[in-house]
A and B are shown apart, each in its own frame.
Chain A
Amino acid sequence: QQQVKQSPQSLIVQKGGISIINCAYENTAFDYFPWYQQFPGKGPALLIAIRPDVSEKKEGRFTISFNKSAKQFSLHIMDSQPGDSATYFCAASRKHNFNKFYFGSGTKLNVKP
Protein backbone atom coordinates (compact mmCIF):
# COMPACT_ATOMS: atom_id res chain seq x y z
CA GLN A 1 0.00 0.00 0.00
CA GLN A 2 1.43 3.32 -1.04
CA GLN A 3 1.60 5.61 1.97
CA VAL A 4 1.91 8.81 -0.02
CA LYS A 5 0.18 9.38 -3.34
CA GLN A 6 1.53 12.04 -5.69
CA SER A 7 0.12 13.63 -8.82
CA PRO A 8 0.57 14.45 -11.60
CA GLN A 9 3.19 12.06 -12.89
CA SER A 10 4.49 14.70 -15.28
CA LEU A 11 3.91 18.39 -15.74
CA ILE A 12 4.75 20.86 -18.48
CA VAL A 13 4.69 24.55 -17.59
CA GLN A 14 5.67 27.63 -19.52
CA LYS A 15 8.41 29.82 -18.14
CA GLY A 16 6.92 32.26 -15.65
CA GLY A 17 3.94 30.04 -14.91
CA ILE A 18 2.92 28.32 -11.70
CA SER A 19 3.74 24.64 -11.18
CA ILE A 20 1.49 22.76 -8.78
CA ILE A 21 2.17 19.25 -7.50
CA ASN A 22 -0.17 17.49 -5.12
CA CYS A 23 0.27 14.78 -2.52
CA ALA A 24 -2.11 12.92 -0.25
CA TYR A 25 -1.44 10.67 2.71
CA GLU A 26 -3.41 8.31 4.90
CA ASN A 27 -1.45 7.92 8.10
CA THR A 28 -2.39 10.68 10.54
CA ALA A 29 0.73 9.91 12.55
CA PHE A 30 2.87 11.59 9.92
CA ASP A 31 4.20 14.87 11.24
CA TYR A 32 6.86 16.02 8.82
CA PHE A 33 6.31 16.63 5.12
CA PRO A 34 9.31 17.52 2.97
CA TRP A 35 9.61 18.08 -0.74
CA TYR A 36 12.69 16.96 -2.59
CA GLN A 37 14.10 18.01 -5.94
CA GLN A 38 16.12 15.52 -7.94
CA PHE A 39 18.12 16.13 -11.09
CA PRO A 40 19.08 13.18 -13.33
CA GLY A 41 21.91 11.12 -11.88
CA LYS A 42 21.86 12.98 -8.57
CA GLY A 43 20.49 12.30 -5.13
CA PRO A 44 17.41 14.16 -3.89
CA ALA A 45 17.92 17.55 -2.30
CA LEU A 46 15.58 19.05 0.26
CA LEU A 47 13.59 21.91 -1.20
CA ILE A 48 11.16 22.87 1.52
CA ALA A 49 9.36 21.12 4.36
CA ILE A 50 6.38 21.69 6.61
CA ARG A 51 4.96 20.41 9.86
CA PRO A 52 1.20 19.96 10.36
CA ASP A 53 0.89 22.81 12.84
CA VAL A 54 0.97 25.36 10.00
CA SER A 55 -1.11 25.55 6.84
CA GLU A 56 1.43 27.21 4.60
CA LYS A 57 5.15 27.74 4.33
CA LYS A 58 6.89 29.89 1.78
CA GLU A 59 10.53 30.03 0.83
CA GLY A 60 11.30 32.20 -2.13
CA ARG A 61 9.36 30.95 -5.13
CA PHE A 62 8.41 27.71 -3.39
CA THR A 63 5.32 27.35 -1.22
CA ILE A 64 3.86 24.34 0.56
CA SER A 65 0.16 24.38 1.28
CA PHE A 66 -1.00 21.91 3.90
CA ASN A 67 -4.54 20.77 4.59
CA LYS A 68 -4.53 18.60 7.69
CA SER A 69 -8.21 17.70 7.63
CA ALA A 70 -8.01 16.57 4.01
CA LYS A 71 -4.62 14.93 4.57
CA GLN A 72 -3.22 16.68 1.55
CA PHE A 73 -0.29 18.93 0.83
CA SER A 74 0.95 20.58 -2.30
CA LEU A 75 3.99 22.32 -3.71
CA HIS A 76 3.58 25.52 -5.67
CA ILE A 77 6.46 26.86 -7.72
CA MET A 78 5.84 30.45 -8.67
CA ASP A 79 7.47 32.08 -11.71
CA SER A 80 8.70 28.68 -12.87
CA GLN A 81 12.05 28.69 -14.63
CA PRO A 82 13.72 26.20 -17.01
CA GLY A 83 16.24 25.52 -14.25
CA ASP A 84 13.38 24.17 -12.14
CA SER A 85 13.00 21.28 -14.60
CA ALA A 86 13.59 18.22 -12.44
CA THR A 87 11.73 15.43 -10.70
CA TYR A 88 10.00 16.40 -7.49
CA PHE A 89 9.16 13.99 -4.70
CA CYS A 90 6.93 14.61 -1.73
CA ALA A 91 7.52 12.58 1.38
CA ALA A 92 6.12 12.00 4.83
CA SER A 93 7.75 10.94 8.03
CA ARG A 94 6.89 10.39 11.67
CA LYS A 95 8.86 10.35 14.87
CA HIS A 96 8.66 6.66 15.54
CA ASN A 97 9.79 3.70 13.47
CA PHE A 98 13.24 5.14 12.81
CA ASN A 99 11.69 8.19 11.23
CA LYS A 100 11.47 6.50 7.86
CA PHE A 101 10.53 8.60 4.90
CA TYR A 102 7.69 7.46 2.70
CA PHE A 103 8.08 8.94 -0.76
CA GLY A 104 5.51 9.80 -3.36
CA SER A 105 5.93 8.43 -6.86
CA GLY A 106 7.50 11.61 -8.21
CA THR A 107 6.53 14.32 -10.69
CA LYS A 108 8.70 15.15 -13.63
CA LEU A 109 8.48 18.88 -14.24
CA ASN A 110 9.46 20.40 -17.57
CA VAL A 111 9.50 24.18 -17.71
CA LYS A 112 9.55 25.36 -21.30
CA PRO A 113 11.42 28.55 -22.16
Chain B
Amino acid sequence: GAVVSQHPSWVICKSGTSVKIECRSLDFQATTMFWYRQFPKQSLMLMATSNEGSKATYEQGVEKDKFLINHASLTLSTLTVTSAHPEDSSFYICSARDLRDPQWTEAFFGQGTRLTVV
Protein backbone atom coordinates (compact mmCIF):
# COMPACT_ATOMS: atom_id res chain seq x y z
CA GLY B 1 0.00 0.00 0.00
CA ALA B 2 0.90 3.64 -0.24
CA VAL B 3 3.08 5.24 2.40
CA VAL B 4 2.26 8.23 4.53
CA SER B 5 5.10 9.54 6.64
CA GLN B 6 4.48 11.66 9.70
CA HIS B 7 7.17 13.64 11.47
CA PRO B 8 8.12 13.83 14.23
CA SER B 9 7.03 10.58 15.85
CA TRP B 10 7.09 12.22 19.23
CA VAL B 11 7.71 15.70 20.55
CA ILE B 12 7.88 17.34 23.95
CA CYS B 13 7.37 21.07 24.15
CA LYS B 14 6.95 23.71 26.78
CA SER B 15 3.58 25.23 27.49
CA GLY B 16 2.99 28.32 25.39
CA THR B 17 5.17 27.29 22.47
CA SER B 18 4.05 26.12 19.04
CA VAL B 19 4.68 22.74 17.48
CA LYS B 20 4.51 21.77 13.81
CA ILE B 21 3.71 18.24 12.67
CA GLU B 22 4.31 17.21 9.06
CA CYS B 23 2.41 14.65 7.05
CA ARG B 24 3.83 13.52 3.72
CA SER B 25 2.48 11.14 1.12
CA LEU B 26 5.60 9.45 -0.23
CA ASP B 27 4.43 7.61 -3.32
CA PHE B 28 1.11 9.13 -4.29
CA GLN B 29 -0.52 12.52 -4.54
CA ALA B 30 -2.91 13.29 -1.74
CA THR B 31 -5.69 15.59 -2.80
CA THR B 32 -7.19 15.35 0.65
CA MET B 33 -5.56 14.96 4.03
CA PHE B 34 -7.26 14.40 7.34
CA TRP B 35 -6.00 15.17 10.81
CA TYR B 36 -7.14 13.11 13.77
CA ARG B 37 -6.59 13.26 17.48
CA GLN B 38 -6.62 10.16 19.61
CA PHE B 39 -6.73 10.05 23.39
CA PRO B 40 -5.50 6.94 25.22
CA LYS B 41 -7.73 3.93 24.67
CA GLN B 42 -10.14 5.98 22.60
CA SER B 43 -11.11 6.19 18.97
CA LEU B 44 -9.82 8.59 16.38
CA MET B 45 -11.57 11.94 16.42
CA LEU B 46 -11.46 13.87 13.16
CA MET B 47 -10.17 17.39 13.69
CA ALA B 48 -10.09 18.78 10.18
CA THR B 49 -10.00 17.99 6.50
CA SER B 50 -7.71 19.80 4.13
CA ASN B 51 -7.67 19.92 0.36
CA GLU B 52 -4.55 20.94 -1.49
CA GLY B 53 -4.46 24.66 -2.09
CA SER B 54 -7.55 25.55 -0.11
CA LYS B 55 -8.50 26.28 3.47
CA ALA B 56 -9.05 23.42 5.84
CA THR B 57 -12.51 22.45 7.02
CA TYR B 58 -12.64 22.03 10.77
CA GLU B 59 -14.94 19.79 12.71
CA GLN B 60 -17.27 21.32 15.23
CA GLY B 61 -15.51 22.21 18.45
CA VAL B 62 -12.02 22.34 16.97
CA GLU B 63 -10.35 25.73 17.29
CA LYS B 64 -9.04 26.72 13.87
CA ASP B 65 -6.78 29.40 15.34
CA LYS B 66 -5.18 26.90 17.66
CA PHE B 67 -4.74 24.07 15.19
CA LEU B 68 -3.40 25.61 12.01
CA ILE B 69 -3.47 23.35 8.98
CA ASN B 70 -1.67 23.99 5.73
CA HIS B 71 -1.91 21.74 2.69
CA ALA B 72 0.44 23.54 0.35
CA SER B 73 1.20 20.69 -2.02
CA LEU B 74 -0.19 17.34 -3.10
CA THR B 75 2.34 15.57 -0.90
CA LEU B 76 2.55 17.67 2.24
CA SER B 77 0.19 18.85 4.94
CA THR B 78 1.20 20.40 8.23
CA LEU B 79 -0.58 20.78 11.53
CA THR B 80 0.69 23.50 13.85
CA VAL B 81 -0.47 23.46 17.44
CA THR B 82 -0.15 27.07 18.53
CA SER B 83 0.39 28.18 22.12
CA ALA B 84 0.29 24.59 23.26
CA HIS B 85 -1.03 23.70 26.69
CA PRO B 86 -0.89 20.43 28.64
CA GLU B 87 -4.46 19.60 27.60
CA ASP B 88 -3.25 19.54 23.99
CA SER B 89 -1.09 16.54 24.81
CA SER B 90 -2.36 13.72 22.65
CA PHE B 91 -1.62 11.37 19.77
CA TYR B 92 -2.11 13.15 16.44
CA ILE B 93 -2.56 11.11 13.28
CA CYS B 94 -2.85 12.18 9.68
CA SER B 95 -4.30 10.26 6.79
CA ALA B 96 -4.25 10.91 3.07
CA ARG B 97 -6.41 9.99 0.12
CA ASP B 98 -6.20 10.64 -3.59
CA LEU B 99 -9.78 11.47 -4.46
CA ARG B 100 -8.98 11.66 -8.15
CA ASP B 101 -8.62 7.91 -8.06
CA PRO B 102 -11.96 6.62 -9.40
CA GLN B 103 -11.82 3.82 -6.85
CA TRP B 104 -11.07 6.38 -4.11
CA THR B 105 -10.86 3.56 -1.70
CA GLU B 106 -8.19 3.55 0.90
CA ALA B 107 -7.11 6.22 3.30
CA PHE B 108 -3.50 5.74 4.26
CA PHE B 109 -2.46 6.67 7.76
CA GLY B 110 0.74 8.08 9.12
CA GLN B 111 2.39 6.49 12.12
CA GLY B 112 1.18 9.23 14.43
CA THR B 113 2.85 11.91 16.53
CA ARG B 114 2.85 11.77 20.31
CA LEU B 115 2.73 15.35 21.59
CA THR B 116 3.50 16.03 25.23
CA VAL B 117 3.19 19.57 26.52
CA VAL B 118 4.94 20.22 29.81
Contacts and interface: CB of A to CB of B under 8 A. Distances in A.
A and B physically associate: yes
Interface of A: 32, 34, 36, 41-46, 49, 89, 93, 95, 98-101, 103-106, 108
A42 B110 CA distance: 8
The 6 closest A-B pairs by CB, nearest first: A43-B109, A43-B112, A98-B49, A43-B111, A103-B43, A105-B43
B1 A46 contact: yes
Given A100-B49, A103-B43, A43 B110 contact: yes
Interface of B: 1, 4, 6, 32, 34, 41-44, 46, 49, 51, 57, 91, 93, 95, 97, 99, 104-112, 114
B93 to A, nearest CB: 5
Contact of B46 (A101, A104, A108): A101
Given A42-B112, A105-B43, A98 B57 contact: yes
B42 A106 contact: yes
Contact of A42 (B34, B107, B111): B111
Contacts of B57: 98
Pick from B34, B57, B109 the residue with the most CB of A within 10 Å.
Answer: B109
Given A46-B1, A95-B104, A101-B34, 8 more contacts: A41-B112, A43-B109, A44-B93, A89-B44, A98-B49, A98-B51, A100-B49, A101-B95
6 contacts: A36-B109, A43-B110, A99-B32, A99-B104, A101-B107, A108-B41
A34 B111 contact: no
Contacts of B91: 41
